[in-house]
Amino acid sequence: MICRVENLPDPPLPLLITGISGVSGYNALHYFQKLYPGQVVGIRQKSNWPLRGKAIVPCDAEDTDGLRRLFDRYGFRAVLNCGGNCALKSCELDPDMAWRINLLPVRVLLDAMAGHDVRFVHLSIDLVFSGQRGGNHVESDYNDPVTVYGKTMAAAEHLVELAKPEACILRISLPMGISYSGHAGAIDWIQARFKANKPATLYFDEVRTPTYTDCLNRVCQAVLASDVSGVHHCGGPRKLSLFQIAQVVNRVGGYNPNNLMGCYREEAGPIPPRAGNVTMVSNKLANVLGFQPFDPWPFDDRFAPTHSMWHAERSPSEEFSPELLARVLYRNPGCVL
Query: 335: how many CB neighbours lie within 10 A of its CB?
Result: 17
* Domains of the chain and CATH, by start: 11-328 (3.40.50.720)
User: How large is the average pLDDT for residues 93-112?
Assistant: 93
Interior/surface letters 236-263, b for 16+ CB within 10 angstroms, e for the rest = bebbbbbbbbbbbbbbbbbbebebbebe
Rounded to whole angstroms, how far apart are CA atoms 172 and 184? 16
Q: Give pairs for 3-8: CB < 8 Å, separation 24+.
A: 3/212, 3/214, 3/215, 3/218, 3/295, 3/332, 3/334, 3/335, 3/336, 3/337, 4/334, 4/336, 5/218, 5/291, 6/336, 8/218, 8/221, 8/222, 8/225
Tell me what percent of the residues of the chain surpass a pLDDT of 70.
98
Reduced to 3 states (helix: H, G, I; strand: E, B; else coil), residue 37 is coil
Q: What amino acid occupies position 216?
A: L
pLDDT tens for residues 151-193? 999 999 999 999 999 999 999 999 999 998 887 889 999 999 9
Rounded to whole angstroms, how far apart are CA atoms 237 and 210? 8
pLDDT tens for residues 22-63? 999 999 999 999 999 999 999 998 888 788 888 999 998 889
Whether the CB-CB separation of 191 and 323 falls below 8 Å is answered with: no
Rounded to whole angstroms, how far apart are CA atoms 320 and 173? 26
Lowest mean pLDDT among 46-50, 232-236, 239-243: 46-50
If we measure between CA atoms, which residue out of 176, 182, 319, 185 comes closest to residue 253?
319
pTM given for the model? 0.95
pLDDT tens for residues 260-316? 999 999 998 888 999 999 999 999 999 999 999 999 999 999 999 999 999 999 988
At residue 6, the pLDDT reads 67
Which spans in 47-103 are helix H?
A: 64-74, 88-93, 95-102
DSSP category for residue 131: S
At residue 336, the pLDDT reads 56
Whether the CB-CB separation of 81 and 168 falls below 8 Å is answered with: no
